[in-house]
Amino acid sequence: MKVKMILPALTEAKSPFWRPIKYSLFPPLGLATLASYLSPDDEVELVDDHVETFNTNDEPDLVVIQVYITNAYRAYRLADHYRAKGCHVALGGLHVTSLPHEAAPHADTIFLGPGEQTFPQFLADFRRDEPLSVYTSTSGRTIHGIPPVRRDLIKRNRYLVPNSIVVTRGCPQHCDFCYKDAFFEGGKGFYVQQVDEALAEIERLPGRHLYFLDDHILGNRRFAEGLFDGMRGMGRLWQGAATVDSVLRGDLIEKAAEAGLRSLFVGFETFSPANLRASNKKQNLARDYEAVARRLSDLGIMINGSFVFGMDDDDTDVFDRTVDWAVRNGITTSTFHIQTPYPGTRLYKAMEEQGRITTRNWDLYDTRHVVYRPAKLTPGALKAGYDRAYSDFYSWRNMAAGALSHGSQKHRAKHFAYAAGWKKFEPLWDIVIKARRLDIMTPMLEAVLTKVTGTGRPKPSSAAAAASVEAG
């Protein structure tokens, strides 16, 4: 059987105004995971539209396409193209689960929810020529015993972080704006791999660096402790994501650092308690954001802070306050978002009921455009403030100021090199990407992620401390 698995490019990735490096970070791990269920006799091709051009004149027996909201229109065009040729087309992913009635006309089969449970059954049905039109993931979800990811299908030299890995599914939190709650509806919303299986997958990865793409690597303490204990001594340098409360709770973050954690994505999102309550982000309420930054910095862990603009309690000063706080507290990189009400979320439902959704053009649902009516800001002010926040945070002056917030020279140098390398050397990234040699950048990334010692932070002045209290 000939199988083609496609990750269509997000709309913005095909625009000349967006950064190619952003779309050359991680391989399509979800599709590579599903490919592991195929027979050794099957001929399979894995295509990532972000990093390669591919032939659409072929006629595989089965085409599997992963659909996100901002690649939905391209996904549907590809699906229609292959169906017209007589290929069996299967669509799955977050957007399909959120809007199955929109996706179904473009597919022979759609998958709702995570596919590890349903894809093997589909393959069995397909081989008998009896495939169903809909496969729905149910309550008995597990990733215990899943076959090893088909990493042989991944073109490693086209990605900055080919060693990406996922050892959990979902998230134990349920924020109103989160796209994934609908994806895991009807069953377990957060579950983990067996520790020994996760460690075996890590052992398969060459080199030192890896990136956990899990939404919350600290979400299950028992699993995380076992994982970090097993990783200690491996010499790995890794990055991941976790919540504010998990960084402050117990000693799990120290265990992660001992196991090689060097950079963490943290969802600060907003400083407003009213915003946190309204979005059901209870895990951030009454938390000391500055203590999170200080604890991670003292462990030598760089921080990628996530912030959302345009929540109902945000007014015109939210942009400057957020940037000032992030710089003052040594946030290495920041990811700013315009609040986006994704279909399938409680936020979307509420805004739809209030008549606040202004467009259903999914290409604009990329957290860079305003697709609803804000409460205290005009759409123009929200977009302008978002753009200004990025420009201000990544100015040379603020990158230097953020670096100087750390206590050791090495941490200062790492902070500055990481932030500047990510944002200020676009021509270099473009050259390496066009040469299809992102692999040569891995040693540089590993050098920046090496362990920092003696990280005590300078004591803030009384003025800075007062400003921090006000911002937090």
For 108-117, what is each residue's pLDDT tens digit? 999 999 999 8
- Per-residue pLDDT, 290: 93
Q: How confident is the model at residue 187 (pLDDT cuts 50, 70, 90)?
A: confident
Give the pLDDT score at 172.
Answer: 79
Superfamily of domain 160-471: tm_1862 like domain (3.80.30.20)
For the stretch 411-443, what's the b/e string if a residue is b when 16 or more beta carbons lie within 10 angstroms of its beta carbon? bbebbbbbbeebbeeeeebeebbeeeebeebbe
Q: What mean pLDDT, rounded, does the chain reach?
A: 91
455 versus 99: the higher-pLDDT residue is 99
Q: Which of 12-26, 203-217, 325-339, 399-413 has the lowest mean pLDDT?
A: 12-26
Boundaries of every domain in the chain:
2-136, 160-471
Residue 286, token pair as written in the block: 């009454």
Helix (H) or strand (E) segment spanning residue 335: strand 333-338
Question: Where does residue 309 rank: exposed (0-12), middle (13-18), buried (19+ CB within 10 A)?
Answer: buried
C-alpha distances (whole Å) from 168 to each of 155, 172, 268, 275 are 24, 11, 21, 28
DSSP state of 106: G
pLDDT, one tens digit per residue, over 446-462 is: 999 988 754 445 444 33
**Residue 215: what pLDDT?**
92
CB atoms within 10 A of CB 295: 16
* Residues 420-456: tens digit of each pLDDT: 999 999 889 999 998 989 989 988 899 999 887 544 4
Whether 18 has a pLDDT exceeding 80, the answer reads no
pLDDT attached to residue 93: 96
pLDDT of residue 471: 33
Model confidence band, residue 282 (pLDDT cutoffs 50, 70, 90):
low
Residue 342 has pLDDT above 60, yes or no: yes
pLDDT at 359: 98
Q: So what's the pLDDT on residue 318? A: 96
Tell me the CATH number for domain 2-136. Answer: 3.40.50.280
Question: Model pTM?
Answer: 0.92
